Amino acid sequence: MDQLKAEPSLVELNAPSLQALLNSNVEMMVLDVSIAKSGWWKLMEPTIEHCGSEVDRFAYFGINTAKELEDKTSKYYSVIERFARAWLSRSSQHDESNEVSGSIQKGIFIFYPCYVLAVLQSKPDAPVEYLEYFNIGSDYQGDAEQLVSIFQSVETAD
């Protein structure tokens, strides 16, 4: 993955390159840690299988290279972090006596830029379409409305 550092625009986003990014890109690592803390999760190393199943989420938004993912992460870093915290806090019921509530693989941040990108699409029904396409949740319309509401509440907060 030397090419990942030298020429990320030439590196196709696939399971191995995503796994390498999750273990080398500082912004992605910091987002993972921040989101894991918000969810009270312990981070585990990402598996190639997990990374492979997540690449399609980015391809859905036309993100096909390591550079494109790095650029989107940088561009939306603050809103992704705020959005993830707000999304997780809506149903947080953590027992404060426990340091962690479970474990999760590195790459948890993957979900949140995709939610943000779904809301940023020019089509009003884009969030519903995204949730339906990836079969996320059970109430696509209600969940999409929550995505939009939370995004609107955090997009300009600093």
pLDDT at 97 exceeding the cut of 80: no
User: Which structural domain, as residue segments, surrounds residue 23?
Assistant: 2-154
Q: What pLDDT, on the 0 to 100 scale, is given for residue 102?
A: 59
Higher pLDDT, 79 or 35: 79
Q: Rounded distance, CA 128 to CA 145, Å?
A: 8
pLDDT tens for residues 59-94? 999 999 999 999 999 999 999 889 988 888 876 544
Q: What pLDDT, on the 0 to 100 scale, is given for residue 50?
A: 79
pLDDT at 119 exceeding the cut of 70: yes
Q: Rounded distance, CA 156 to CA 158, Å?
A: 6
Q: What pLDDT, on the 0 to 100 scale, is given for residue 63?
A: 95
Higher pLDDT, 53 or 106: 53
Pick the most confident of 23-27, 60-64, 95-99: 60-64
> Domain total for the chain?
1
SS (H, E, C) the chain: CHHHHHCHHHCECCHHHHHHHHCCCHHHHHHHHHHHHHCCEEEECCCHHHHHHHHHHHHHCCCCEHHHHHHHHHHCHHHHHHHHHHHHHCCCCCCCCCCCCEEEECCHHHHHHHHHHHHHCCCCCHHHHHHHHCCCCCCHHHHHHHHHHHHHHHCCCC
Backbone angles phi, psi at 17, to 5 degrees: -70, -35
Q: What pLDDT, on the 0 to 100 scale, is given for residue 98?
A: 44
